[in-house]
Amino acid sequence: MTKMHIKLTVNGEPKEVLAEPRELLIHTLREQLNITGPHIGCETTHCGACTVEMNGKSVKACTVFAAQADGAEITTIEGLGTPDELHVLQRAFREHHGLQCGFCTPGMITRAHRLLQENSNPTEEEVRFGMSGNLCRCTGYQNIVKSILAAAAEMNAIKEAAE
Amino acid sequence: MNDMAAPTREERAAKLKGLGCSRKRVEDVRFTQGKGNYVDDVKLPGMLHGDFVRSPYAHARVKSINTEAAMAVPGVLAVLTAKDLEPLSLHWMPTLAGDKQMVLADGKVLFQGQEVAFVVAENRYAAADGIAAVEVEYEELPVLTDPFEALQSDVVLREDLEAGADGAHGPRKHHNHIFLWEEGDEAATNQAIDSAEVVAEEMVYYHRTHPCPLETCGTVASMDKVNGKLTVWGTFQAPHVVRTVASLLSGIEEHNIRVISPDIGGGFGNKVGVYPGYVCAIVASIVTGKPVKWIENRMDNLMATAFARDYWMKGRISATKDGKITGLHCHVTADHGAFDACADPTKFPAGFFHICTGSYDIPVAYVGVDGVYTNKAPGGVAYRCSFRVTEAAYFIERMIEVLAIELGMDAAELRRINFIRKDQFPYQSALGWEYDSGDYHTAWDKALKAVGYDDLRKEQAERVEAFKRGETRKLLGIGLTHFTEIVGAGPVKNCDILGMGMFDSCEIRIHPTGSAIARLGTISQGQGHATTFAQILASEIGIPADSITIEEGDTDTAPYGLGTYGSRSTPVAGAATAMAGRKIRAKAQMIAAYLLEVHDDDLEWDVDRFVVKGAPERFKTMAEIAYASYNQAIPGVEPGLEAVSYYDPPNMTYPFGAYICVMEIDVDTGQHEIRQFYALDDCGTRINPMVIEGQVHGGLTESLAIAMGQEIAYDEIGNVKTGTFMDFFLPTAWETPNYTTDYTETPSPHHPIGAKGVGESPNVGGVPAFSNAVHDAFRAFGLRQSHMPHDQWRIWKTAQQLGLHG
């Protein structure tokens, strides 16, 4: 199958890949670019383990063709914080025990990151609704919700202090 | 010495982050950054991808398999069929339950999704193309999906089994029968029930479901032909057992096989067994000389690897007219699917189902379980429970409710008057278990008080009246459960898997500068072992948990153990950790005595040091002792500071709990709303309360799913109707309620630190609590029993059948 030449930006770095038209973005990220934070849990857009940001929106990379990401800006869990300076959400998930096996966590945090861009001061109900595209089998969500609400509060406090 | 005051004993203890500390998890640092290392993240040079051609039919003869077109697909390197595996005797493999199962279809297929051929290609896309090009000719055969029908049918499912010959667990009474397993005194039980004042009888069905971890099963097998070494990464809850099985099957000596369980994305029992994908990837790597990866997709996972439950439980329970239980009889028809691939200790074909007398003092009982073959996927794993304990807990907690109806009695009171009393422990159950400890009345009273039970009953009665007056369309259900689990398998004298005794192990090495590494025979799948086992050790040897690395899952480095499932890690490997720690401390005491020039007996242990009795200023810390063990010649003592313990538990542990669910049900839509869920767990000594609470939240959400909607359903010709997340229910954050957790603490008397295990309690206790709430809502209108899952349609139908739709 003829391969397509695709250019995209991943976590701020320009990348070029050759991919078949049918190649899924999640496989491009994981197998061609060795970005293994996003995971594959269902391949049918239900579980959200593969959630990344594409042009400022949460997408499930298992049902986006690499070709559709040509020219796109992609952010994955690897782009949110650094080992020396974790993102507030990354710290909050640890602080409030918002993860167990860790498989859903990159998608969870990446989705939560976008949710808080869209709504910086969500209610518990809004967090639960906004996160309902991401499945977790270990935590029962209670501490995930707690982590996100705590992160929102901290991010707002940081913003206020800066203003 | 500097000017600062020496830390107090409390400060030193706090620094250890030992038992009882809600220590933050060390695993989370990498998981939150996307730096976990799961099997699909393993990437080796030249690695190939393998995937299966699967059967579209539930029962069919395989007339022919033509691989020619597939081999012509660009990127396809090999297609394996049963014919290719037969010369290696690998076309069939033994199951953990004493049966055997096809690795690849040998003449026929017995369930939809069964593995027929294995395509090996350069990448996963080429493998998919190859699968599409394999031509298989089938001849359909009659399909049996009902175990009762299977036991009557002339259709022979397992033509490979000799007619009339015994199975692994005794005589088979029909060609689709697997075993009859019995416990207890049937004659005495029948006599007690037949002569009783009150008898309740019910068929309780616990439907077929699936553990469904978010990460599916998978493996990477790499045969290094130069060194003769096989390395296998995979989603293995029991890596050491996988190594032994791989050696026995392949003929490769065990020292030449290295099995690695990397990070595992949830297991819940799904990753205990050995699957055809593992075998085929290993064979393909041997054949091609290259590493071969096999990763299940979600549909494969739900259709083909290890289902759970599917128990039809016919019960009779008897009592005096004032509610004292006099006997319990249970007969189970167990649908095992096409092969008996249950993951139970070998001698227990129905697992520990005979814990089904629950929390109650029942003088006489009997249980008989008939295992049956059908055209469904094999399995029967413990989905977040100890072997068949969820089924047992659901059975007894339903029977108690039905008996309460029969007696016209409050179900909370009926439980209370039948609980095993605190002074009866250790308690010998009628079905042969010795319950190690418990204090059920205290837990029960605490739970009832916490939810305001009496007020809830008043509110419920008022609601029923209001409903009858037409003022509301919502009913209120109060779901009660008091469960007793049996976990921590188990004593080697009666627990083994494929002949391997179910001990577990820990090996500790203290480094010269006073930090340490401990390796265990278990493997975490999210339970947080790296955090909690370090806490056990910190309290035992006085080295801060933050200075202890916990390592599991690499059979080349970790001591042999039976793995993590059935809540056995804390009861067995946790005990081994404490015992190995005590060996370290015993040697440390000798070293300290030498350094302080006193007799061993003149020393006492104080948090993180040995102190001379009566002279608190004279001490040696564990860090000082560790250093001395490496740099001083101490007469009569070997250099270094290491220990290993293989722990054979003297008994199981018996965690228990009291759960109460308050649920609103809309009789017109069948929708439910969880108004309150209170969960009290007693898991003995609590190692990390934060982790315990997280485990309870997660297990309750799994039980919510099972009770309220999750199932593996088949149509009459054996098609799986719930093969994707469109149909297989997993609750999201939106459907999941907040839970209130609570505890009592009754330490296990035989466990070194008194811990009992907790990970599976919420699944065991949660399902009956949710289900009982549904039943209880309709109790006033005559409902005795309805089958799970209680999805909207079934609840609506129940209301319809009770004439509540007017």
Give domain status of residue B182, yes or no: no
Residues B543 and B638 grouped into a single domain: yes
Residue A56: HSE in the Cβ half-sphere, 13 Å Cα cutoff? 2
* Interchain CB distance below 8 Å, A103 and B38: yes
Residue B280: give its domain's CATH number. 3.90.1170.50
The residue of chain B nearest to residue A34, with distances taken between CA atoms, is: B41
Is the Cβ pair A136, B214 closer than 8 Å? Answer: yes
Among candidate residues B627, B647, B667, the one where a domain is terminated: B647
Decide: B525 and B36 in contact? Cβ < 8 Å.
no
What is the per-residue pLDDT across B559-599, written as a single tens digit (0 to 9) for each?
A: 999 999 988 999 999 999 999 999 999 999 999 999 999 99
What gap in Å lies between CA B792 and CA A2, rounded to an integer? 49
Same fold, A4-79 and A88-162: no
CA dihedral B150, B153, B159, B165 (to 10 degrees): 80
Residue with tokens 């919420």, as numbered in its chain: B762
- The Cα of A106 is separated from the nearest Cα of chain B by a number of Å equal to 5
Nearest to A101 among B43, B264, B295 (CB): B264
B703: in domain: yes
pLDDT exceeds 60 at position B281: yes
pLDDT above 60 (res A123): yes
Of A41, A100, A137, which is closest to B528 when you measure between CB atoms?
Answer: A100
Round to whole Å and give the CA distance between B221 and B294: 9
pLDDT for the residue numbered B259: 98
B258 is annotated as an active-site residue: no
Cβ–Cβ below 8 Å for B33 and A22: no
Pair (B530, B483) in one structural domain:
no
pLDDT tens, residue by residue, B747-778: 999 999 999 999 999 999 999 999 999 999 99
Per the DSSP assignment, residues forming a β-bridge with A19 are: A4
Together in a domain, B374 and B515 = no
pLDDT confidence of B154, banded at 50, 70, 90?
very high
Given B280, B385, B495, B661, the catalytic residue? B385
Residue B612's identity, in one-letter code, is: V
Secondary element (H or E) of residue B116: strand B115-121
DSSP A66-78: GGGGTT-EEE-GG
Please give the residue range of the domain that contains residue B299: 39-141+216-264+271-304
* pLDDT tens by residue, A101-117: 999 999 999 999 999 99
On the question of pLDDT at B1 being above 50, the answer is: no
* For testing contact with chain B, the best of A11, A22, A23, A100 (most B CBs within 10 A): A100
pLDDT level of residue A1 (50, 70, 90 thresholds): confident
Within 8 A of A34 by CB-CB distance, chain B residues are 43
User: Which residues, in sequence order, are bridge partners of residue A7?
Assistant: A16
Is B32 part of a structural domain of the chain?
yes
Band of residue B164 on the pLDDT scale cut at 50, 70, 90: confident
Q: Mean pLDDT over all residues of chain B? A: 97
Smallest CA–CA distance from B73 into chain A, residue: A1
Q: In this prediction, what percent of chain A has a pLDDT beyond 90?
A: 98
Domain membership flag for residue B806: no
| Mean pLDDT value of segment B27-44 | 97
User: Is B739 close to A41, i.e. CB distance below 8 A?
Assistant: no
Please list, in sequence order, all residues whose beta carbon lies within 8 angstroms of the beta carbon of residue B330, skipping any fewer than 6 positions away. B313, B314, B315, B316, B356, B365, B366, B367, B368, B395
- Residue of B663, B668, B675, B669 whose CA lies nearest to B707: B663
A131 vs chain B: nearest CA distance in angstroms?
7
Task: Verify whether the Cβ–Cβ distance B733 to A127 is below 8 Å.
Answer: yes
Q: Which residues of B touch A108 (CB under 8 A)?
A: none
Which of B43, B724, B733 lies nearest to residue A141, judging by beta carbons? B733
Query: How many domains would you assign to chain B?
Result: 3
Write out pLDDT tens, residues B321-367. 999 999 999 999 999 999 999 989 989 999 999 999 999 999 999 99
* B469 in active site: no
Q: Does residue B372 share a domain with residue B334?
A: yes
* Whether the Cβ atoms of residue B192 and residue B381 lie closer than 8 Å to each other: no
Mean pLDDT value of segment A46-71? 98
What span, in angstroms and rounded, lies between the C-alpha atoms of B231 and B225? 11
**Shortest CA gap A58–chain B (Å):** 17
For residue B276, is it within any domain? yes
A contact test, residue of B23, B31, B261 with most A CBs within 10 A = B31
Helix B239-250 with B276-288: angle, nearest 10 deg = 60
B478/B530 same-domain check: no
In CATH, the number for domain A4-79 is 3.10.20.30
Per-residue model confidence (pLDDT) at position B3: 52
Pairwise CA distance, residues A131 & A123, whole Å: 12
Give the pLDDT band (50/70/90) at residue B498: confident
- Domain stop point among B611, B626, B647: B647
Q: What number is the average pLDDT over the span B170-188?
A: 97
| CATH code, B395 | 3.30.365.10
CB within 8 Å of A9: residues ≥ 6 apart: A15, A72, A73, A74
Q: Do residue B619 and residue B715 come from a single domain?
A: no
Angle B386-B390-B393 from CA coordinates, rounded to 5°: 120
What Å distances lie between residue B178 and B99, B144, B335, B477, B505, CA to CA? 9, 15, 10, 39, 34
Tens digits of residue pLDDT in B787-797: 999 999 999 99
Confidence at residue B765, expressed as pLDDT on a 0 to 100 scale: 98
Q: For chain A, give every domain's residue range.
A: 4-79, 88-162
Contact yes or no for A137 and B734 at CB 8 A: no
Answer yes or no: is B551 within a domain: yes
B485, B388: one domain: yes
The per-residue pLDDT for B163 is: 85
The angle formed by the CA atoms of residues B272, B277 and B283, to the nearest 5 degrees, is 120
B44 neighbors B96 (Cβ within 8 angstroms): no
Query: How confident is the model over B734-755, as a mean pLDDT?
Result: 97
Q: Which residues of B touch A145 (CB under 8 A)?
A: 733
Residue B641 shares a structural domain with residue B763: no
Is B309 an annotated catalytic residue?
no
Q: Which of B41, B733, B736 is opposite residue A36, by nearest beta carbon?
A: B41
Handedness of CA B407, B413, B417, B420 (dihedral sign): positive
* A117/chain B closest Cα distance in angstroms: 19
**pLDDT at residue B5 greater than cutoff 90:** no
At the second CATH level, the architecture of A88-162 is Orthogonal Bundle (1.10)
Which of B24, B34, B691 is nearest residue A76 as measured by Cβ atoms? Answer: B34
Q: Which amino acid, B595?
A: L
Minimal CA–CA distance to B529: which of B496, B492, B580, B568? B568
Amino acid at B705: A
> B25 vs A23: CB contact, 8 Å cut-off?
no
B532-565: buried (b, 16+ CB within 10 Å) or exposed (e) per residue?
Answer: bbbbbbbbbbbbbbebbebebbbbeebbbbbbbb
Round the average pLDDT of chain A to a whole number and report it: 97
Q: Are residues B62 and B26 in the same domain?
A: no
Best CA proximity match to B168, nearest among B342, B305, B286: B342
Q: Do A137 and B214 touch (CB under 8 A)?
A: yes
Same domain, B348 and B460: yes
Q: B415 and B435: one domain?
A: yes
Give pTM, 2 decimals.
Answer: 0.97
Cβ separation of B214 and A47 shorter than 8 Å?
A: yes
> What is the rounded distance in angstroms from the CA atom of residue B117 to the CA atom of residue B136?
9
Cβ neighbours of B709 in A, within 8 Å: none
Give per-residue burial for B486-513: e unless 16+ CB within 10 Å, then b: bbbbbbeeebbbeebbbbbbbbbbbbee
Distances (CA, A) of B565 to B27, B40, B299, B538: 19, 22, 24, 24
Q: Return the residue in A18, A23, A43, A142 with the most chain B beta carbons within 10 A, the one to mutate for interface testing.
A: A142
B385 catalytic, yes or no? Answer: yes
Over the stretch B374-403, which tens digit does the pLDDT of each residue have?
A: 999 999 999 998 899 999 999 999 999 999
Q: Which residue has the tokens 């294995």?
A: B118
pLDDT band at B149; cut points 50, 70, 90: very high
B706 in the same domain as B626: no
User: How far is CA B524 from each of CA B303, B382, B555, B638, B791, rounded to the nearest angstrom?
Assistant: 25, 16, 14, 33, 32
pLDDT band at B544 (very low <50, low <70, confident <90, very high): very high
Question: Across the interface, which of B32, B38, B264 has its CB nearest the CB of A90?
Answer: B32
Task: List CB contacts of B804: < 8 A, sequence separation 6 or more.
Answer: B667, B781
Q: Are the Cβ atoms of B213 and A100 closer than 8 angstroms? A: no
